[in-house]
Structure 1
Amino acid sequence: MKYLIIPFAMLAAGSVFANQPLRKQVEVIAHIPADSFYVVAENGWDTRPQELSYNVMTETLRPVTQRLIAKSTTGAIEARLEGPAQINSGADAINLNVSINGVDLESTAKVVVPKSQQGNEVFIPIQISAQAGPYAPGSYSGLVNMTFETPLVAR
């Protein structure tokens, strides 16, 4: 009886090592802007979360300050918010201010790169800051959705 158990155990262990296919899926994307109009984040900062770090001494949130690279060969570049700019933690929210090239964004489009810069690649600052507190404790997150537009090229 002792000898029958060992071959059975080896047979069972062998099935664990059977060839099982493993499948992996990797999402790969690329965005190649047109040479006539683009607004891209310098060094790809927009692909990573941006933190409004909390200063415990002043009880304020430090703004996110980055740069965009923009170009339009057809005129000025306008920007607008697609919805409320805020971060949330459960039922609590912190409203945000978004400024591009010194222009405070709203739901109505505003010029952020003037027509005088038409055809030039320009570096423009973007700042996302929290409106004044006090802030409820929590872990906050959210998305800031913006749209950039320039006049269409007449064909």
Structure 2
Amino acid sequence: MFKTLLHSLIFTTLALPSLAAWGAVERETFELFVTIPTTEFHVLPVDPQLVEREQPMLFSTLTSGLLPLRANYEVKNINGAIGARLGEEAFLSNGRERIDLQVRFNNVQLTLDSAQVVSAVEARPGRRVGLEIIAVKTAEEYAPGDYFGTVHMVFDAIAP
């Protein structure tokens, strides 16, 4: 009887932990992608979420103004400088009201006309530059509401 009890105790001690291991299973699935830029010319945000998701411009209740949106880009052009322009006017709108936006790339204000934003000397080895989007403050306070907008930037490789 003692042997039977000992055998069942040993079996239980050895078998139960392995049964619990069969019950606990975790699986994770996620998707991956990569964008590998050309070695000759590229203008890419350091954080890809910048262009993949809607970005909030935060409202400050202390200043009654919008806080600037800032991001970094990696730029390179082995054949010359880099030019940039706005594809269309940059603004936020709630359907009735409009808030104009000032867009600066590498401390150069962008307009609808192309301008050099990175010199050939800086662009050749590649570097990191800043993007800043600022709401233009007017004499009047911003009207309450939800505002949406798009900033469309166009970058060109400028040949020497």
Cα separation, 2, equivalents of 1:87 and 1:70: 27
Rg bigger for which structure?
2
Q: Deviations over 1:19-53 (max 9, x none)?
A: xxxxxxxxx98654221000001021221222110
DSSP-derived class of the 1:46 partner: helix
Counterpart of 1:129 in structure 2 is 134
Counterpart of 2:40 in structure 1 is 36
Superposition misfits of 4+ residues, deviation over 2 angstroms: 28-33
| Structure 1 gaps, min length 5 | 1-27
Cα separation, 2, equivalents of 1:36 and 1:67: 20
Q: Deviations over 1:39-98 (max 9, x none)?
A: 001021221222110001110100001101100011000000011100110111110000
Cα separation, 1, equivalents of 2:134 and 2:54: 14
Range with bigger deviation, 134-143 or 113-122: 113-122
Counterpart of 1:53 in structure 2 is 58
Q: CA RMSD in A?
A: 1.9
Using structure 1 for the length normalisation, give the TM-score: 0.75
Distance 1:55 1:121, change over 3 A: same
Query: In the alignment, residue 42 of structure 1 is paired with which amino acid?
Result: V
Using structure 2 for the length normalisation, give the TM-score: 0.73
Equivalent of residue 68 in structure 1, options 46, 68, 73 = 73
What is the percentage of aligned positions where both structures have the same residue?
29
For the pair 1:120 / 2:125, whether they are aligned, the reply is: yes
For the pair 1:139 / 2:143, whether they are aligned, the reply is: no
| Structure 2 gaps, min length 5 | 1-31
